[in-house]
Structure 1
Amino acid sequence: MFPKYPHSTVSIQPFDYEGVVDLESKPRCKAPTSGMMNADVTLADELNAFYARFEAAAKDAKDANASGANGCRHEDTASTGNTFIISEHDVRRAFKRVNTRKAAGPDGISGRILRACADQLAPVFTEIFNLSLSQSVIPTCFKESIIVPVPKKPHPASLNDYRPVALTSVVMKCFERLVKDFIISSLPDTLDPLQFAYRPNRSTDDAISHLLHTSLTHLDTRGGNYVKMLFIDYSSAFNTIIPSTLTTKLEHLGLSSSLCQWICNFLTGRPQAVRMGGHLSASLTLSTGAPQGCVLSPLLYSLYTYDCVATTSSTTIIKFADDTVVVGLISDNNETAYLKEIRNLENWCQRNNLLLNVSKTKELIVDFSTKQERNYQTPIINESPVERVNSFKYLGVHITQDLSWSWHINTVVKKARQRLYHLRRLRDFRLPSKVLRNFYSCTIESILTGNILTWFGNSTMQDRRALQRVVRSAERTIHTELPDLHSIYSRRCWTKARKIVKDLSHPNNGL
C-alpha cells in the first residue's frame, strides 16, 4: 500500500501518487563522460576569471581618484561615530526567520540548524557579530562565496550569458540583514527621493507611476511638447563597485566611520570560486564589486549611485536599484538639456567605474503631436548611437510610445493562459480546491495583477474583458469564486493612497 512519512501524522492518499509512475518510467539522463567533466572544469575556471575581470579596471579608477587611492582605510575608528551594537534578541530573531530551503554556504552551516538551534547559537554569534563591528573586520570564512552561474538564455553562447549568483554563508546573510536594517534606519529622508528601491513605502509601482505622471503632465502642458525616455543598462553593475569610493559616499550620508570601514572590509579580500556541475574552480580573491546574491549588495549599489541625479529642471532621473531611466521633457524641439544630461551621466559613470551597455540601452519617444514632423536627435554614448524602440519593458511593465496598455495586457493574458494549463493538470490529479486556489493566487493572479496600479485604470474595456476571461476560466477549473481584478485594483489603490498621504517624503505625495 501507500506509505506514510515516518514520525508524521500526514497520511499520503493514493491520488497523490498518480503520475509518479509515469515520471519514474522516463529514461534517466546519461552519466557524464570524462570529456563533459573536463569541459565543466575548464568552463568553471574561465567563468571565475571572467567575473574577476573588473579588478584591474577598478585599480586604475582608484589611482585616478585621489579619495580612493589608498583603498579602505584601517585607522582606529573607535572614536569616529556611534558604534552599531547588535542585541542577542535581534540575532535570535534573525536565525528563527531563516529560510530553511536555502542552500548552505561554503561553511556548510545550513539554515535548518540555525533555526532549530537559534536559542543556543544566538549568544555566541552575538558576541562574534559585535566584535566584528567594533573592529571593522569580517572573518574571511564569512566572506567566502561559491558562484553558481545562472544562464540568462536557454542556450548560453558566451561567458556573458551566465549571471553570477553568490552562494554565501547563511550566518553572514543573517548578519547582513541586521546591518541592512540599521543602515536603512540611519539614512536621511531627503536622500535621492527618486531612488525607489530599498526605501520604506516604495515599490516598482511608485517608480512607474512617477515616470508616467511626469511624462503625461509635460505632454498636457501645451501642444508640441514631447518626452524622451532613455532606459539605461549597465554592464555587470554590481561587479564594478569600488569599495573605497563607496566608503566615502557612505560617510557623506552620515554613517559612522567604523561602519563604513566594516562595509569596505566586507567588499574586499573576498575568496570566490565557481561551481559548475560537480566541479569547483580554483579560488580567486576579489576586492572590487558586491557579490550578487548577498543581502547587502543591492542596498549598497543604490547608495553608491545616490549622487547620480538630474542637473536641470527639464530632465529627471528615476531609479529602482540599477534600473535607471533618464526622462527628457522636450519643449520647442529643444533637446539641448536632455543631451547634456546624458553626457553628464556618461561622465558620472566614468568617475564611478560603471560601464554603460550601449547595445542594451534604448530610447523611447512619446509624442502625441500629429501636426508637425520631428527631426529627433539620436543620443550618442561612448561614440555609439542609442537604438530607438517603440516599446520597452521597464520593471515588468511594457511601456509603448503611445502609452497604451494593449501590448502589455496581451502579454500578461498570454502568460497567464499558459499557467492555466498547469492548473487544469493539477485538477486532473484531484488535488483539493484549497491547493488549487493557492496555486492560482501564486502563479496566475500574481501575473494578472503585477504592477496593476500603473496600467489597469487606463486600460480599455476590451482589454479588461480579456483579463477577466482568464479569471473565469480559473473559476470553472477550481469550482470556486475568485476575486475579480477590478476589486483587487480598487483595494490596492486605496491602500497605496493612504500610505502615500501619510508619507510626506514620498515623491508622489503631491499628486
Structure 2
Amino acid sequence: MQDDLELKTKSKHFGCYKPICQMVVVFLIHLRFQEQQRCGHCLQIFLRPTKYLPPFHPMVHFILFLLPQGLEKLCHIQLLTTPTVPSDIFQKNGANSEEIERLWKKTRLHVHLLHLKDLLTSFNSAVRDARVSYFSNLVSQSKGNPKVLFNTISSIVSPASPTASIHSVADCENFLSFFVDKVNKVRSSISPSALSLPLPTPTRPIILDSFAPVSLPELTKLVNSMKTSACPLHILPSSLFKSAFQSIGPSVLSIINASLVSGQVPAYFKNAVIHPLLKKPSLDPSLHSSFRPISKLPFISKILEKVVAKQLTAALDEHNIYDSFQSGFRRAHSTETALLRVSNDLLTHSDAGDCSVLVLLDLTAAFDTVDHHLLLERLRDWVGLSGSALEWFSSYLSERSFSVAVSKFRSSTTSLTHGVPQGSVLGPLLFLLYLLPLQHILSSFKGISYHLYADDIQLYISFKPHEMSKLQLLHTCLDSIKTWMAGSFLQLNEDKTEILICAPDKLVPKVRDSLGQLASHTKPSVRNLGVTFDPALTLDSHVSSLVRSSFFHLRNIAKLSPILSRSELETVLHTFISSRLDYCNSLFTCLSRTSLNRLQVVQNACARLLTKSSKHTHITPLLLQLHWLPVNFRVHFKILVLVYRALHGQAPSYIGDLLSPYTPSRSLRSSDQSLLVVQHQAKDQR
C-alpha cells in the first residue's frame, strides 16, 4: 500500500448543459487506503442513494452539480506529498556547488578545487540515483499496460512525435471547420441517382427489444475493468471515479438503469471533445488532412455505452448476426486471424498453380460519414432491434455535439449530424452493423473471396493461367461495391486502392494487361494490416522492415540499460521488440530459413543486451537461462495455440473451417486422439 500522493492541479468546468461551476480539481494519482475511505465518505454525504424515475435529465443535472461539490469538500483534506525527483537535490547541491566554486575562483586553492569536485561527484551520483528510481517506478507502474509503457519510453528515447500545431482558439476552430467540411464534401459528392437505388432489406426476427437493468455488483465489476482516461468533460478524474465508486455507485447505477429503461440518453453524455491524432508519424503535421478526429467522451458516458455494448454483443453472438468474414472489433478475432486466412487461401492456390489478384480498398472518413437514418433502419431490419432498445439508439445518435480541444485551447461546439464517434465504445460496433448489407453483395460473386477488418476491405480472386477472363468479374464486383457505398454515404478512396498480383514472373504482365483500368493500382508489394505482402508471398520485404525497426528501437533501449534493473529492462524489451517479432508470426510458416535466421539475430541481440553478454557468447544457453523460445519455435507455438482454440470454439469460424478432422477408414487406436488431416504442400513450397 503506497503512502505517497502525487497532486496535479488544473482548472476545469463542470456541468451538463451549461457550466455549473468552475473550480480547481485535485487529480489523485496515488491514494492511500485511509484517504480512499475519507474520499468515499466525503462523496457519500453529497450522494445519498435515491430511486430516480424518468424523466431523469434533471437528475443528471443534480448529480453533476453534487459531484463537484463533494470533490470541493475533498480538496480540503491535507495530504503529505513526496515528489518523484526530490527537488532538494538541485537546491542543496546547487547552492553549495556555486558557493564553493566562487570561493575557489577567488582563492585558487587546490583544497577548494578538490572540495568542488567532491560536491559535483556527489551531485551527479544523486541525480543518477534519482533517474534510476524514476525510470524504475515508470516501468513498474506501466508494466500491466504495454501501450502506456510504449508511449512513455518512446517519448524518452525517440524524437517527439509531431502534434497538431494549435496555438490559439482560432486553430481549434480551423480544425473544427475542416472535419465538418470533409464530411459534407464526401456526402455532397454522391450523386442523387445513387441514393435512389433500392437496397436489399431482409426480414429478420426481433432479437432485442429492451435493455435489462444492471445490478450494482455487475456495474462495479464493469467499471473496475475499464481503463482510466483523460477528458475535459469528466465530472471527476476517472481514477478518482473508480476509487470512489463504492460510494457514488448507487447514484451512477440509477442514471444507467434509468437510461436503459426509458430508452433515452442524457444530453451531457452526447457531447464529445475531439482530439486531432496524427495518422502516421511520416505525415506532415501542418496539414489538417494528416489528422484523424478522436472523440473523448465523459467517463460516465463510456460506462453507459459499455453496459449497452455488452448486452447488444451477447444478442449478436447468440443469433449469429455478424458477417463471418468481419474480423474488426470482435472477440477472438484479430488482424492476425484475418491475415492468416487470406495468406492461407493465397498460398493454397499458389501451390495448385493458380494466379491470384489481391485488392485492398480504403474508405474516406468511413466512421464520420455514417448516415444516422440508414443506421437506425439497419439496426431494425438487418439486426432485429425494436422497442425501447431501438429508441435508445435513436436517442444516442440524435442531438450529438462536439468541439475540438488541444492543450488549453478549445473551439466552439457544433452539432454532429453524421457519423459514429471514434474513441467511443459503441462507435466501432455500430459501424460493423452499418456494413452488414455489404456481406450479401460480396458473397453473391462466386469465385471472389473477401475479408473485412472494420473499414479495411480485401478482395481476392484466383484462376488458372488460361482463365484471365475471370478478372472481368472483379470489375463487376467493384462497381457493385461503389454503387452500394454511394447509397450508404460511404466513399472509396481510389487513390489508396492497391492491387497485388501473385503469379509467376512471366505471367505478371499478362495479368496486369487483363486488369484494364485497375492496372494502374498494381504495386510490387502492399502493406496489409501491418504486414507487407509480396507477389511470391515470401514476406521478405516484411522481414527486412521488421529487422530494421527492431534494431532502431534496440539501439535506443540500450541507452536506458544502465539505469534499469534487469527485470525492468526485460519488460521494455518485450514491449518494443518481442511484440514486433510475435505480431502475426503465424504467417511466418512460409518464411525461408534465411529470413527466420534474420529474425533470430534480433532476438539474440535482445538476449545479449539483457544479460550484458558479448557478441561471441554462445546464444543457446542464454535463451535457456531466460526461458525464451527461439523464433521458429514461437511460430510453431502460435500455430498450435490457434489450432487448439479453433478446435474448442475459441477462434473465428473461418479458421476452424480450415481444419479437417481425421477419420480412419477402420477402427484404430488413434481414432480417439482428435487427429487432423495434414494438407500436403507443393514440393517447392518454402
Cα deviation, residue 171, structure 1 = 1.2
Cα deviation, residue 289, structure 1 = 0.3
Deviates more, 1:193-202 or 1:437-446: 193-202
After superposition, the Cα gap between the structure-2 partners of 1:56 and 1:428, relative to the gap in structure 1 and judged at 3 Å, is closer
Deviates more, 1:236-245 or 1:195-204: 195-204
Q: Is the 8 A contact 2:501 2:511 kept in 1?
A: no
Post-superposition Cα deviations, 1:218-248, rounded to whole Å, max 9, x if no partner, equal 3334x4x321111111111100111221122
> What SS does structure 2 have at the residue aligned with 1:237?
coil
Decide which of 118, 123, 128 is 2:250's aligned counterpart.
123
The sequence identity of aligned pairs, in percent, is 20
Q: Aligned partners of 1:263 and 1:61: how far apart in 2?
A: 26
After superposition, the Cα gap between the structure-2 partners of 1:444 and 1:375, relative to the gap in structure 1 and judged at 3 Å, is closer
> What SS does structure 2 have at the residue aligned with 1:390?
coil
Alignment of 1:13-24 (within 5 A): 14=126, 15-18=128-131
Cα deviation, residue 135, structure 1 = 2.3
Decide which of 385, 409, 418 is 1:255's aligned counterpart.
385
Q: Aligned partner of 1:498: which letter?
A: Y
Q: Aligned partners of 1:133 and 1:249: how far apart in 2?
A: 21
Aligned residue for 1:150?
A: 277
Aligned residue for 1:510?
A: 657
Decide which of 358, 361, 369 is 1:232's aligned counterpart.
361
Q: Aligned partners of 1:464 and 1:132: how far apart in 2?
A: 55
Cα deviation, residue 259, structure 1 = 2.0
Q: Aligned partners of 2:321 and 2:415: how far apart in 1?
A: 37
Q: Aligned partners of 2:214 and 2:185: how far apart in 1?
A: 36
Cα deviation, residue 151, structure 1 = 2.3
Cα deviation, residue 387, structure 1 = 1.8
Q: Is the 8 A contact 1:81 1:256 kept in 2?
A: yes
After superposition, the Cα gap between the structure-2 partners of 1:505 and 1:116, relative to the gap in structure 1 and judged at 3 Å, is closer
Q: Aligned partner of 1:495: which letter?
A: V
Decide which of 522, 531, 540 is 1:406's aligned counterpart.
540
Q: Is the 8 A contact 1:184 1:199 kept in 2?
A: no
Unmatched runs of 5 consecutive residues or more in structure 1: 22-35, 69-78
Aligned residue for 1:365?
A: 501
Aligned residue for 1:26?
A: none
Q: Aligned partners of 2:211 and 2:406: how far apart in 1?
A: 41
Decide which of 536, 550, 553 is 1:416's aligned counterpart.
550
Q: Aligned partners of 1:45 and 1:391: how far apart in 2?
A: 40
After superposition, the Cα gap between the structure-2 partners of 1:360 and 1:20, relative to the gap in structure 1 and judged at 3 Å, is farther
> What SS does structure 2 have at the residue aligned with 1:227?
strand
Q: Is the 8 A contact 2:271 2:297 kept in 1?
A: yes
Post-superposition Cα deviations, 1:225-274, rounded to whole Å, max 9, x if no partner, equal 32111111111110011122112212222233422332232223112111
Q: Aligned partners of 2:324 and 2:309: how far apart in 1?
A: 19
Cα deviation, residue 416, structure 1 = 0.8
Confirm whether residue 291 of structure 1 aligns to residue 391 of structure 2.
no
After superposition, the Cα gap between the structure-2 partners of 1:505 and 1:275, relative to the gap in structure 1 and judged at 3 Å, is closer
Aligned residue for 1:489?
A: 635
Decide which of 276, 279, 292 is 1:163's aligned counterpart.
292
Aligned residue for 1:81?
A: 209
After superposition, the Cα gap between the structure-2 partners of 1:379 and 1:405, relative to the gap in structure 1 and judged at 3 Å, is same
> What SS does structure 2 have at the residue aligned with 1:374?
helix
Q: Aligned partner of 1:326: which letter?
A: L
Q: Is the 8 A contact 1:98 1:111 kept in 2?
A: no
Cα deviation, residue 379, structure 1 = 6.2
After superposition, the Cα gap between the structure-2 partners of 1:154 and 1:357, relative to the gap in structure 1 and judged at 3 Å, is closer
Q: Is the 8 A contact 1:40 1:276 kept in 2?
A: no
Q: Aligned partner of 1:50: which letter?
A: F
After superposition, the Cα gap between the structure-2 partners of 1:369 and 1:476, relative to the gap in structure 1 and judged at 3 Å, is closer
Aligned residue for 2:434?
A: 304
Deviates more, 1:404-413 or 1:328-337: 328-337
Q: Aligned partner of 2:565: which letter?
A: P
> What SS does structure 1 have at the residue aligned with 2:259?
helix
After superposition, the Cα gap between the structure-2 partners of 1:379 and 1:99, relative to the gap in structure 1 and judged at 3 Å, is farther
> What SS does structure 2 have at the residue aligned with 1:507?
helix
> What SS does structure 2 have at the residue aligned with 1:131?
helix
Aligned residue for 2:482?
A: 346
Q: Is the 8 A contact 1:398 1:407 kept in 2?
A: yes
Q: Aligned partners of 1:505 and 1:406: how far apart in 2?
A: 27
Q: Aligned partners of 1:234 and 1:501: how far apart in 2?
A: 35
Q: Aligned partners of 1:329 and 1:236: how far apart in 2?
A: 30
Cα deviation, residue 281, structure 1 = 1.0
Decide which of 313, 334, 339 is 1:208's aligned counterpart.
339
Decide which of 445, 448, 451 is 2:578's aligned counterpart.
445
After superposition, the Cα gap between the structure-2 partners of 1:249 and 1:84, relative to the gap in structure 1 and judged at 3 Å, is farther
Alignment of 1:217-228 (within 5 A): 217-221=348-352, 223=353, 225-228=354-357
After superposition, the Cα gap between the structure-2 partners of 1:371 and 1:170, relative to the gap in structure 1 and judged at 3 Å, is closer
Q: Aligned partner of 1:337: which letter?
A: L
TM-score normalised over the length of structure 1: 0.85
Q: Aligned partner of 2:606: which letter?
A: A
Q: Aligned partners of 1:80 and 1:327: how far apart in 2?
A: 35
Q: Aligned partners of 2:558 and 2:420: how far apart in 1?
A: 43
> What SS does structure 1 have at the residue aligned with 2:522?
strand
Decide which of 326, 333, 338 is 2:468's aligned counterpart.
333
Q: Aligned partners of 1:302 and 1:230: how far apart in 2?
A: 20
> What SS does structure 1 have at the residue aligned with 2:603?
helix
Deviates more, 1:470-479 or 1:343-352: 470-479
After superposition, the Cα gap between the structure-2 partners of 1:416 and 1:505, relative to the gap in structure 1 and judged at 3 Å, is closer
Higher helix share: 2
Cα deviation, residue 297, structure 1 = 1.2
Q: Is the 8 A contact 2:585 2:635 kept in 1?
A: yes
Alignment of 1:35-114 (within 5 A): 40-53=168-181, 54=183, 81-100=209-228, 102-114=229-241
Post-superposition Cα deviations, 1:91-147, rounded to whole Å, max 9, x if no partner, equal 2112222323x2134144221122111112222122211211222221111111111
Confirm whether residue 458 of structure 1 aligns to residue 590 of structure 2.
yes
Q: Is the 8 A contact 1:133 1:262 kept in 2?
A: yes
Cα deviation, residue 425, structure 1 = 1.5
Q: Is the 8 A contact 1:186 1:255 kept in 2?
A: no
Post-superposition Cα deviations, 1:173-216, rounded to whole Å, max 9, x if no partner, equal 12212221222111132631100123332111111011112223
Q: Aligned partner of 1:220: which letter?
A: D
Q: Aligned partner of 2:170: which letter?
A: T
> What SS does structure 1 have at the residue aligned with 2:425?
coil
Confirm whether residue 175 of structure 1 aligns to residue 310 of structure 2.
no
Cα deviation, residue 463, structure 1 = 1.3
> What SS does structure 2 have at the residue aligned with 1:307?
helix
Q: Aligned partners of 2:355 and 2:224: how far apart in 1?
A: 53
> What SS does structure 2 have at the residue aligned with 1:228?
strand
How many residues matched?
475
RMSD of Structure 2 on Structure 1 (CA): 3.1
Structure showing greater radius of gyration is 2
Cα deviation, residue 168, structure 1 = 1.0
Q: Aligned partner of 2:405: which letter?
A: R
Q: Aligned partner of 2:336: which letter?
A: D
